[in-house]
Amino acid sequence: MSRKHQTLGEFIIENQSSFKYTSGELSRLINSIRLAAKVVNYEVNKAGLVDVLGAAGESNIQGEEQQKLDVYANEKFIQTLVNRNIVCGIASEEEEDFISINSSDKNHQNKYVVLIDPLDGSSNIDVNVSVGTIFSIYRRVTPLGSPVQIEDFLQKGIEQVAAGYIIYGTSTMLVYTTGDGVNGFTLSPAIGTFYLSHPQIKFPREGIIYSVNEGNYVHFPQGIKNYIKYCQMEEGNRPYTSRYIGSLVSDFHRNMIKGGIYLYPTSTKNPQGKLRLLYECNPMAFLAEQAEGKASDGSCRIMDILPTQLHQRVPFVCGSISMVEKAESFVRASKSS
Ligand code: P6P
């Protein structure tokens, strides 16, 4: 049973036995993410004070200009996971290929792989808007004792054993699931401890917030256009309120607490969508479903999609279940007309 103001460390220990693969390794893995989160949080919070802003001058696998904090966050999460020697592999938005991890004494015996978006929404960093880290954890599927393979990362979202995010906002929170609901922990900056502040978060079944970049409206598929027009119609509790921060973790977090829907559809500019399946959509979909919400590509359940590439993109519709189902009905109707 979760108690308010319990620390994250106490929560992990108290709930370890409920995790079906309990061996303590996942607990140590979550703890290492907690440590990296504190280190990155410190740097994000002082970004405006030192010359950490501005592009690092390189571009990442996505061809996007890397902010220095992107590079820093990526290095810190990888370094922490490697030092703790808990995982056998890491994939990151900032790394072209996955990283195989093994220390001489372990001989590839670690069984978890982690996929991360180390600093999502980084274009918001230099305008002081919330950003976040997203993580997804799987058990490897290739034999222990051998180097990790791409198959260990290209698993359906339904195979995730844990997923979560850190939101570096007005307060810093770590929100995660191991398949037994979604719990949120808020960092006390004074003592550097995460406290259980949002036990068993649930998406309201209905909401009045829709989150989409309406600047892309003319490029959207007709079904999505029809849904957006539906959101803007005067009827019942509509028109809805449009809220779009341009930071997935922030839009998702607000919608999960207040009720709402987030959409990043395909468009003529992004024919596959923009968000990455493995380290953005799958972890957020796991959280959404664990919080009694829903996540699809507009038609199919996100967590049923079989990945084919490490950085593949998919359309993403996620949030309050009745809002997602309404959007899906507009997509279906448009396809059948
Ligand atoms: P756009 C940030 O780059 C991100 O991946 C998500 O965090 C965010 O929701 C989306 O892209 C914003 O994209 O095209 O609307 O600026």
Using the predicted structure, report yes or no on whether residue 313 has a pLDDT greater than 50: yes
Spans of all domains in the chain: 8-198, 209-336
pLDDT at position 2, please? Answer: 47
Average pLDDT, integer, range 30-49: 88
User: Ligand 1 within 6 A of 259 CB?
Assistant: no
The sign of the torsion formed by the CA atoms of 78, 82, 85, 88 equals positive
Beta strands in the chain (DSSP E): 55-59, 65-67, 87-92, 99-100, 112-120, 131-139, 162-168, 172-177, 183-188, 193-198, 209-211, 241-242, 261-264, 294-296, 316-319
- Whether 112 and 87 have beta carbons less than 8 Å apart is answered as yes
Mean pLDDT of 80-94: 92
Kindly give the distance from the C-alpha atom of residue 114 to the centroid of ligand 1, in angstroms, as a whole number.
22
Instruction: Indicate the pTM of the whole model.
Output: 0.94
pLDDT at position 84, please?
A: 84
Q: What is the DSSP letter of 278?
A: I
- pLDDT single digits (tens) 91-142: 999 999 999 998 666 678 889 999 999 999 988 888 889 999 999 999 999 9
Mean pLDDT of the chain, nearest integer: 91
Lowest mean pLDDT among 18-22, 179-183, 270-274, 294-298: 18-22
Pocket test for ligand 1, best of 119, 120, 131, 220 (most atoms within 8 A of CB): 120
pLDDT at 1 over 50: no
Q: Is the CB of 246 under 6 A from ligand 1?
A: yes
Distance CA 210, CA 178 (A): 27
Q: What is the pLDDT of residue 20?
A: 64
- E-strand stretches of 61-111: 65-67, 87-92, 99-100
Whether residue 225 has pLDDT greater than 60: yes
In CATH, what class is 8-198?
alpha beta
Supply the CATH classification number for the domain 209-336. 3.40.190.80
Nearest to 166 by CA among 289, 12, 40, 292: 40
